Amino acid sequence: MKVLVPLVLALGIATPAGALDAIGEIGANLDGEELNWQVMRQDDGSAMVQITDIGPLTMIELHALGDGSISIGLIFHGKPSGDTPPAGLTIDMRPDRGAMAGAVWESEEEPPQMSIDLLDLEDEGRIQASFAATLCRRDAPDDCRDVEGRIDTSLGAGP
Protein backbone atom coordinates (compact mmCIF):
# COMPACT_ATOMS: atom_id res chain seq x y z
CA MET A 1 0.00 0.00 0.00
CA LYS A 2 2.81 2.43 0.84
CA VAL A 3 4.24 2.00 -2.67
CA LEU A 4 0.97 3.18 -4.24
CA VAL A 5 0.90 6.50 -2.39
CA PRO A 6 3.75 8.19 -4.31
CA LEU A 7 2.26 6.92 -7.57
CA VAL A 8 -1.18 8.28 -6.71
CA LEU A 9 0.30 11.58 -5.56
CA ALA A 10 2.34 11.89 -8.76
CA LEU A 11 -0.77 11.18 -10.82
CA GLY A 12 -2.70 13.84 -8.93
CA ILE A 13 0.05 16.41 -9.41
CA ALA A 14 0.58 15.58 -13.10
CA THR A 15 -3.13 15.75 -14.00
CA PRO A 16 -4.63 19.14 -14.93
CA ALA A 17 -6.81 20.53 -12.15
CA GLY A 18 -9.87 20.70 -14.42
CA ALA A 19 -9.71 16.94 -14.96
CA LEU A 20 -10.34 16.09 -11.29
CA ASP A 21 -13.64 16.04 -9.42
CA ALA A 22 -14.01 15.64 -5.66
CA ILE A 23 -16.07 12.57 -4.79
CA GLY A 24 -15.68 12.81 -1.03
CA GLU A 25 -13.69 14.12 1.86
CA ILE A 26 -11.68 13.10 4.88
CA GLY A 27 -11.26 15.44 7.81
CA ALA A 28 -9.16 14.97 10.92
CA ASN A 29 -7.83 16.66 14.01
CA LEU A 30 -4.16 15.74 14.47
CA ASP A 31 -3.09 16.89 17.92
CA GLY A 32 -5.10 20.12 17.63
CA GLU A 33 -4.46 20.78 13.92
CA GLU A 34 -7.62 20.60 11.73
CA LEU A 35 -6.74 18.95 8.43
CA ASN A 36 -8.95 18.28 5.39
CA TRP A 37 -8.46 16.26 2.22
CA GLN A 38 -10.52 15.47 -0.87
CA VAL A 39 -10.85 12.09 -2.55
CA MET A 40 -10.66 12.79 -6.28
CA ARG A 41 -11.88 11.15 -9.49
CA GLN A 42 -10.50 11.89 -12.95
CA ASP A 43 -12.59 12.46 -16.06
CA ASP A 44 -11.84 8.88 -17.18
CA GLY A 45 -13.63 7.56 -14.07
CA SER A 46 -10.54 6.40 -12.18
CA ALA A 47 -10.50 7.44 -8.55
CA MET A 48 -8.04 7.66 -5.69
CA VAL A 49 -9.77 4.57 -4.30
CA GLN A 50 -8.88 0.95 -4.88
CA ILE A 51 -10.98 -2.08 -3.91
CA THR A 52 -9.22 -5.43 -4.25
CA ASP A 53 -10.55 -8.92 -3.55
CA ILE A 54 -7.85 -11.47 -2.76
CA GLY A 55 -9.37 -14.81 -1.83
CA PRO A 56 -11.25 -14.39 1.43
CA LEU A 57 -9.95 -10.82 1.94
CA THR A 58 -11.23 -7.50 0.60
CA MET A 59 -8.93 -4.49 0.75
CA ILE A 60 -10.10 -0.90 0.38
CA GLU A 61 -7.47 1.80 -0.06
CA LEU A 62 -8.43 5.49 0.12
CA HIS A 63 -6.02 8.26 -0.89
CA ALA A 64 -6.86 11.96 -0.62
CA LEU A 65 -5.15 15.31 -1.20
CA GLY A 66 -5.63 18.68 0.47
CA ASP A 67 -3.69 19.68 3.58
CA GLY A 68 -0.93 17.39 2.38
CA SER A 69 -2.11 13.84 1.82
CA ILE A 70 -3.68 10.94 3.67
CA SER A 71 -3.91 7.22 2.93
CA ILE A 72 -6.26 4.85 4.74
CA GLY A 73 -6.14 1.09 4.16
CA LEU A 74 -8.85 -1.28 5.35
CA ILE A 75 -8.79 -5.08 5.24
CA PHE A 76 -11.94 -7.14 5.70
CA HIS A 77 -12.33 -10.90 6.06
CA GLY A 78 -15.05 -11.94 3.65
CA LYS A 79 -17.55 -9.45 2.24
CA PRO A 80 -17.12 -5.98 3.80
CA SER A 81 -20.08 -4.51 5.65
CA GLY A 82 -20.81 -1.65 7.99
CA ASP A 83 -21.69 -4.18 10.69
CA THR A 84 -18.19 -5.66 10.81
CA PRO A 85 -15.15 -3.59 11.78
CA PRO A 86 -12.13 -4.01 9.53
CA ALA A 87 -9.72 -6.81 10.48
CA GLY A 88 -6.85 -4.50 9.57
CA LEU A 89 -6.55 -0.71 9.38
CA THR A 90 -3.62 1.57 8.55
CA ILE A 91 -3.47 5.37 8.41
CA ASP A 92 -0.63 7.45 6.96
CA MET A 93 -0.71 11.28 6.94
CA ARG A 94 1.63 13.81 5.40
CA PRO A 95 0.45 17.23 6.61
CA ASP A 96 1.77 20.23 4.67
CA ARG A 97 1.00 22.92 7.25
CA GLY A 98 1.09 23.52 10.97
CA ALA A 99 3.43 22.04 13.56
CA MET A 100 3.27 18.58 11.96
CA ALA A 101 4.19 19.71 8.41
CA GLY A 102 6.84 17.84 6.48
CA ALA A 103 6.70 14.61 8.47
CA VAL A 104 5.09 11.28 7.63
CA TRP A 105 2.77 10.22 10.45
CA GLU A 106 1.74 6.57 10.44
CA SER A 107 -0.14 4.06 12.54
CA GLU A 108 2.37 1.42 13.57
CA GLU A 109 2.33 0.57 17.27
CA GLU A 110 -1.32 0.67 18.34
CA PRO A 111 -3.95 -0.43 15.81
CA PRO A 112 -6.29 2.40 14.75
CA GLN A 113 -9.99 2.14 15.55
CA MET A 114 -12.82 2.69 13.09
CA SER A 115 -16.58 2.92 13.45
CA ILE A 116 -18.38 2.44 10.12
CA ASP A 117 -21.75 4.15 9.73
CA LEU A 118 -22.23 3.15 6.08
CA LEU A 119 -20.33 0.84 3.74
CA ASP A 120 -21.92 0.17 0.37
CA LEU A 121 -19.97 -1.53 -2.41
CA GLU A 122 -22.85 -1.53 -4.90
CA ASP A 123 -23.06 0.87 -7.87
CA GLU A 124 -20.80 3.85 -7.13
CA GLY A 125 -20.23 2.71 -3.54
CA ARG A 126 -19.90 4.85 -0.42
CA ILE A 127 -18.21 4.81 2.96
CA GLN A 128 -19.03 6.97 5.95
CA ALA A 129 -16.95 6.28 9.03
CA SER A 130 -15.08 7.81 11.93
CA PHE A 131 -11.60 6.81 13.04
CA ALA A 132 -9.17 7.35 15.90
CA ALA A 133 -5.51 6.44 16.11
CA THR A 134 -2.15 7.26 17.56
CA LEU A 135 0.20 8.23 14.74
CA CYS A 136 3.97 8.34 15.07
CA ARG A 137 6.53 10.11 12.92
CA ARG A 138 8.28 7.71 10.57
CA ASP A 139 11.62 9.51 11.12
CA ALA A 140 11.16 9.86 14.91
CA PRO A 141 9.05 6.89 16.13
CA ASP A 142 8.96 8.18 19.72
CA ASP A 143 7.08 11.33 18.59
CA CYS A 144 3.45 10.20 18.56
CA ARG A 145 0.20 12.20 18.32
CA ASP A 146 -3.47 11.37 18.56
CA VAL A 147 -5.76 11.78 15.57
CA GLU A 148 -9.54 11.62 15.24
CA GLY A 149 -11.29 11.97 11.94
CA ARG A 150 -14.20 11.32 9.65
CA ILE A 151 -14.53 9.80 6.17
CA ASP A 152 -17.44 10.54 3.84
CA THR A 153 -16.74 9.53 0.27
CA SER A 154 -17.95 7.71 -2.76
CA LEU A 155 -15.78 4.74 -3.61
CA GLY A 156 -15.41 6.04 -7.13
CA ALA A 157 -17.20 3.63 -9.41
CA GLY A 158 -19.57 5.17 -11.90
CA PRO A 159 -19.44 8.01 -14.44
pLDDT digits (tens, 9 = 90+) for 38-51: 998 877 777 788 88
33, 147 contact by CB (below 8 A): no
- Res 98: pLDDT: 67
Integer Cα distance of 64 and 72 in angstroms: 9
Q: Bridge partners of 13?
A: none
Alpha carbon 87 to its chain centroid, in Å, reads 16
- Our measurement of the distance from residue 129's CA atom to the centroid of its chain's CA atoms, rounded to an integer in Å, reads 11
Say if residues 88 and 61 touch (Cβ distance below 8 Å). Answer: no
Q: Please, which pLDDT band fits residue 153 given cuts at 50, 70 and 90?
A: very high
List, for residues 72-126, the tens digit of each pLDDT value: 999 999 888 778 889 999 999 998 876 667 889 898 778 899 999 999 888 888 9
